[in-house]
Structure 1
Amino acid sequence: MELALGIMPELSADAETLTADLARQAEAGGLDLVVVRGADADADTAGIDPWTAAVWVAGATESIGIGVVPAGASEPFAGTDPEAPVPAVVDKAWESAALLAGPRLVAGSRWVVAPAGAGRAELAALAESGLPVVVPVRDGADVARLVDIVAADGPVGGRRRTGVARALRRAGIDYDAVPASLAATAVEPGDREYLAVSSNYLRGGAPGLVLRPETPEQVADALAFARAHTHVPLGVRSGGHGVSGRSTNDGGVVVDVGRMNRVEVLDEARRLVRIGPGATWKQVAAALDPYGWALGSGDYGGVGVGGLATAGGIGLLGRAHGLTIDHLRAVELVLADGTAVRATRDDHPDLFWAVRGAGANFGVATAFEFEVDDVGEVGWAKLSLVTTDIEKSLLRFGEVATAAPRDTTVFLVTGRPRQGQSMIQLYAIVDSPDPQVVVERLTPFLDLGALVQQEAYLTRYKDIMGQAADVGPDGHHGQGEPVSRSAFLPAITPEAAHDTAELLRSGRVFFYELRPMGGAIADVPAHETAFAHRTPAFQVTAMGADQDDLDARWDRLARHFDGLYLSFDTDLRPERLHDAFPPPVLTRLRDLKRRYDPENLFRDNFNIDPRDGSDAVRASEEA
């Protein structure tokens, strides 16, 4: 049994300061608990409030558990002693302290008190109760003695966690079975790093365990652990930015490959680069820029490589250079059974086909090899326009964006109208270093409304991706669940523009985006990749606050659509698979799923169930 030790400092005239100092020493030394007790009525420190001292300790420390014993707590309340604690007041004090200290506040009597100066054997005997053992201490020397005992008794591998931290572990996860290769960096709910890894960019989360592999071998170890825990959710995370991807969860396991983020040039003559899944597109753009290269990658530099590079990658360089997956030449994966494979057009070509559009269903990518493009200075613009006729503006955007030369890609973002006016934001790249060409390409878009703000200049692609904020050590802080729907739009017809305008005027959609396709995206045959929707003119995304409401409104627009882009859709009903993948593609994917992931380990995303489609729909209806 791992020995859980705590301290009970003696109160003195400077109780808060001394107790906080000893608590910091105990926390740094790996002790579990600091208990603050009220003084006796005739003591010199009788006026010191233990609840205040406890809050002081909470502010001075980060993870150690905090217990409180009010003065006179062991005596029954008779209502005749003015110095006796009143239960209702004690309860209120507890609630107030809990608001400030959080889950670190430990209820009274959840520890055993040892005699001051107790030795290792006596402490171990008391620990047989299964409760932390608290030892009265007077100074730093007493605390140091206990720290030495804990250090000698610590675990052989991994990290030592306090009893309070272990109490926060989630049911259904065998924490003692975490692979030795991952134990030292694994994060549990009670760990200091937990808040930094629990949520992603848009989604709040409370996973039971986050594993952070740094090598393919460690990824295989993580998946072995996941195979033993199929009764809890499994998330796979690269940058943690995905809308539809479940890169966090509640009570499950997350495999976070964020530390596998190296970018290296393999062959300068071929412009062949190798990129880890945990790199962000901001990092990639910065690494490629010294060579005069770029790789199209969505519209935000904070997105991780792994998720986007296995789904498609409809970006601001798309019409000029195609999808991100169109540049993929090889991918290294760890499959559900732990096997490491390298997939190319010649080796595992079926898997290479599937990864380019449905990759999250087949394995954890550990490296990508891309053939990137020569890209110099480009025209970059952010334009804001106001229109009183959003229907007319959408129709005009469809005409202009479709007719634009392929060197021009302009994304449109709008939302709820305000007082009869709609704000339109345009984000544009013109792949040309010539200012006259840039102006010529962008001028037709000014017909969408009254221009109220503009920003246009020549720059490098790395500077566009570099506008994304860095994710610091505190991680993402998403909350709730994103609600989003996606589709491919063959054309913006008058009917489609009208129905879209009605959707926006409903006020139920706060974000609406059109991403033009065509150009180089349409050059690739539909059968070349699992991403089969090569001919639509636009990809469209809408975000709202209520999934059922958005689904109902989106369904009324379905007659205008031809498929969906799975990265931006949170409607995970099995029938959505038929929108994401045409029937021959879905049949082929399901056959491959049966071969590479027959037990459906990779299920908590846009899932391709290895069973046939009718079984999947039936199971959803019965759930």
Structure 2
Amino acid sequence: MADYGHELAFGTFITPQNQRPEEVVALAQVTERAGLDLATFQDHPYQPAFLDTWTLLSWVAAKTERLRVSANVLNLPLRPPAVIARAAASLDLLSGGRVELGLGAGAFWDGIEAMGGRRLTPGQSVDALSEAIDVIRAIWDVSERGGVRVDGEHHRVHGAKRGPAPAHDISIWLGAYKPRMLRLTGGKADGWLPSLSYLPPDQFAPANAAIDAAASAAGRDPREVRRLLNISGAFSDSASGLLQGPPRQWVEQLLALVLDHGFSTFILAADDARTIERFGQEVAPALREAVARERRAAGTETGTVIRGPKALALRREGIDYDALPATLAAQAVEPGDRDYAAVRSTYIRGGSPGLVLRARDAADVQAALAYAREQAVPLAIRSGGHGISGRSTNDGGIVLDVGALNAIELLDPASGRVRLGPGARWGEVAQALAPHGLAISSGDYGDVGVGGLATTGGIGFMARKHGLTIDRVVAAELVLADGTLVRADADHHPDLFWAVRGAGANFGVVTAIELEAAPLGEVVFSTMAFEASASLLERWGAVVEAAPRELTSFLGLYAQRRDAPVVQLHTLWAGDDVGAATDALTPLLSIGPLLDQQAHLLPYPAVVPAHGGQHTGGGAAPAFRAGLLHHVTPQAAEAIFGLAASGVAPMQQLRAVGGAVNDLDPLATAYAHRTQSFSLNAVGGSRRLLDERWDALIAPHTDGLYLSFDSDPRPERLHDAFPGETLARLRRLKARYDPGNRFDQNFAIPPADLAEPALPV
């Protein structure tokens, strides 16, 4: 038995003839309708009777919805690997993660040489393919700093910029038959893709053995290499040979290839629609059922691949990896996995967690919390991964990533009620709501995740008009520390509903949140630049406080060492009344020496676009401090400008709040700061220096703290974030809902019965 336990997949191998190109595309569409997973095409660029394979892949991906596409296999000698990498990643992004990469070392060298390619010996072609894999993977790996450098004999890349990263982990499959190619497959590839017409069945076992040995020698588990097979055959009423007969015979013969030789993907060479339909509708489902039955009887291990010794050596103390539930294992990532670089860090801060659990639904969150409770390491929760505090990753602990819970559902267009997954990003939310004339004020950057912002505060570009993001929350579903999934709203767990709006990270993992969006068409968005001064800050503050609520303005103060300080304003008028917007914006033009200004009428999603960026940390993580001001007084303005002039904080931002934010009673939500008009945050390279200057210059002018903009870990910050009765109430609720203080990584609130003298109630 050599069943590697891979999930079965089925596809087609379609001839890319160019006489009737529409028929080629139609066969791919038949492949999709028949329920098959994959359409592949041979690649012979020197063959004038064929369509260019990469152009065809792009066209087919655009003409289908779920079908994966791949060359079978791509002719490497005529396609530079760095270009292959960028083309594959680009098509993967455009198609939503539906590209795989079959590669070949080259054959038909007369044709390759005629097209300008260089003739290689068999040994040279294998070396060139090995180097090409290194180039492709390095281009895709945007987590590494610096350019790509591969100094090979056949492929040399010196400083090529990395990216883009694909939408999913593109598999590299090799068409391999001879010993060196088989060893390369085991050492570096994700799949082995021979053709039954070239490799007789009596060679399957020796080839598998060679791949397995090479995988083990490279520190990999042989199960990391999927076994694919190009097949051909014909359906008939009576059996007459291998894959020559009725569908039930095909099932029996393919079942033997799964159980005895480990093949799990079968790609049928067929240019006939009826043959493709029978393969997808009669063979594939029956074979899946038969394989599942045999695997259950044999106890075959399926799902997550057991990692090799090199990967096992990277595992961290305090985590029982063997106890990970099977329901979580398939999506889990640990050090040594290829996905690790993409999930270890946040937007600004690098991390090195021992295990990342990627939940797909609320049940996964419950299972992950149950598992994490038994481990002796910290637990971090991540939604979008943008949080500047960096507390959604860690070193050596567990990260529960809910990024896949990213649904956006408009429940009631009339009231604007929308249900969001915590992993959705606000730019995506804005884009989904805009066609309905709705929007939610949500920070100033579209890649921020819903979960963190909608439970902490949400100081957005429409805060003065529509309040904080949490002020629009009407319900939340979350998993508590004990694993219970609850709904919190005005009628169910109202105390928890109060706490979630401002201190949500301390009480559970949000799996869905409901908000009421506000009616909104287009907005007027203005940018202005000024020569900076303390008096300008003061005048800006006065203008903003006097402005209609439709106007919300953010001021950035930038003080680079070699240049004079400058101020940049980003100001939004929450409506499409250009005349009213002009009247409100005009006073801002005279607050100081104007360097540049422009304004546009545009859709709100254009203000907060979703970039879909991959978070890879940012090198040396900066320090952040934050505070709230009632007004930008002359004294406060001088202190802020003085901090900038010191060089300790080269970037500061003042965000207008007030207006609708202050309509609520301070005790209405766990965010209690309902009298201040501005939020100030500063960024510096040294935590010690920033803390010293902030405490001396800025703290005397502040009253309160917005947690999302502060990385100061000192426990007294809790008093700034949650004043007086708010903190006392939160601690009592913490004792009720999380008495063991499991959620203790994001400005943890100690339960009332764990009080320390430093935190009096």
- TM-score interval (norm. to shorter): 0.7 to 0.9
CA distance in 2, matches of 1:393, 1:60: 51
Q: Deviations over 1:289-347 (max 9, x none)?
A: 11101110011111000000000111110001111111111000000111000000111
Q: Which residue of 2 aligns with 1:223?
A: 369
- Residue type of the partner of 1:610? P
- Residue type of the partner of 1:478? G
Q: Does 1:605 align with 2:605?
A: no
Which deviates more from structure 2 when the two are superposed, residues 176-185 or residues 447-456? 447-456
CA distance in 2, matches of 1:555, 1:612: 31
- Residue type of the partner of 1:469? H
8 Å Cα contact 2:332-2:356 kept in structure 1? yes
User: How far apart are residue 179 of structure 1 and its match?
Assistant: 1.6
Q: Which residue of 2 aligns with 1:469?
A: 611
- Residue type of the partner of 2:699? A
8 Å Cα contact 2:556-2:653 kept in structure 1? yes
Q: Does 1:409 align with 2:541?
A: no
- With structure 2 as the length reference, what TM-score do the two structures score? 0.62
SS in 2 for 1:457: strand
Q: Does 1:175 align with 2:321?
A: yes
- Residue type of the partner of 2:369? L
Q: Deviations over 1:327-371 (max 9, x none)?
A: 111000000111000000111000000000000000000111111
Q: Does 1:590 align with 2:731?
A: yes
8 Å Cα contact 2:477-2:512 kept in structure 1? yes
Q: 2:330 aligns with which of 166, 171, 184?
A: 184
Q: What CA RMSD, in Å, does the superposition of the two structures yield over aligned residues?
A: 4.0
User: How far apart are residue 120 of structure 1 and its match?
Assistant: 11
Q: Which residue of 1 aligns with 2:176?
A: none
Q: Within 5 Å, give how 1:88-487 maps onto structure 2.
A: 148=261, 155-229=301-375, 231-387=376-532, 390-416=533-559, 421-466=564-609, 468-471=610-613, 474-487=614-627
8 Å Cα contact 1:198-1:206 kept in structure 2? yes
Q: Deviations over 1:420-452 (max 9, x none)?
A: 732111011112312221111111112232222
8 Å Cα contact 2:208-2:261 kept in structure 1? no
Q: Does 1:540 align with 2:540?
A: no
CA distance in 1, matches of 2:426, 2:383: 11
8 Å Cα contact 1:199-1:479 kept in structure 2? no
CA distance in 2, matches of 1:608, 1:60: 46
Seen in structure 2, the aligned counterparts of structure 1 residues 133 and 427 have a Cα distance that, compared at 3 Å, is closer
CA distance in 2, matches of 1:128, 1:54: 17
8 Å Cα contact 1:245-1:567 kept in structure 2? no
User: How far apart are residue 614 of structure 1 and its match?
Assistant: 5.5
CA distance in 2, matches of 1:398, 1:420: 24
Q: Does 1:502 align with 2:647?
A: no
8 Å Cα contact 2:411-2:417 kept in structure 1? yes
User: How far apart are residue 209 of structure 1 and its match?
Assistant: 1.0
Q: Deviations over 1:1-35 (max 9, x none)?
A: x999xxxxxxxxxxxx9xxx9xxxxxx99xxxxxx
CA distance in 1, matches of 2:483, 2:717: 29
8 Å Cα contact 1:285-1:462 kept in structure 2? yes
CA distance in 1, matches of 2:136, 2:625: 45
Q: Within 5 Å, give how 1:3-14 maps onto structure 2.
A: none
User: How far apart are residue 53 of structure 1 and its match?
Assistant: 11
8 Å Cα contact 2:554-2:654 kept in structure 1? yes
CA distance in 2, matches of 1:343, 1:442: 40
Q: Deviations over 1:526-584 (max 9, x none)?
A: 11000000111101000101111111111112111101001111011111100101121
Q: Which has the higher contact order (CA 8 A, sep 6+)?
A: 1
SS in 2 for 1:512: strand
CA distance in 2, matches of 1:242, 1:502: 27
CA distance in 1, matches of 2:731, 2:759: 16
Q: Which residue of 2 aligns with 1:33?
A: none
Q: Does 1:519 align with 2:666?
A: no
- With structure 1 as the length reference, what TM-score do the two structures score? 0.76
CA distance in 1, matches of 2:329, 2:537: 53
SS in 2 for 1:309: helix
Gaps of 5+ in 2: 5-76, 82-100, 103-120, 139-186, 188-204, 223-227, 230-256, 265-294
CA distance in 2, matches of 1:128, 1:165: 12
Percent of counterpart pairs with the same letter?
Answer: 49
User: How far apart are residue 242 of structure 1 and its match?
Assistant: 0.5
**How many residue pairs get matched?**
524
SS in 1 for 2:670: coil
CA distance in 2, matches of 1:420, 1:188: 45
SS in 2 for 1:433: coil
Q: Which residue of 2 aligns with 1:81?
A: none
Q: Which residue of 1 aligns with 2:69?
A: none
8 Å Cα contact 1:334-1:365 kept in structure 2? yes
CA distance in 2, matches of 1:449, 1:245: 36
8 Å Cα contact 2:380-2:745 kept in structure 1? yes
SS in 2 for 1:264: strand
Q: Which residue of 1 aligns with 2:112?
A: none
Which deviates more from structure 2 when the two are superposed, residues 570-579 or residues 480-489? 480-489
Seen in structure 2, the aligned counterparts of structure 1 residues 418 and 214 have a Cα distance that, compared at 3 Å, is same
CA distance in 2, matches of 1:289, 1:234: 36
8 Å Cα contact 2:348-2:615 kept in structure 1? no
SS in 2 for 1:527: coil
CA distance in 1, matches of 2:461, 2:209: 67
User: How far apart are residue 159 of structure 1 and its match?
Assistant: 3.0
- Residue type of the partner of 2:443? G
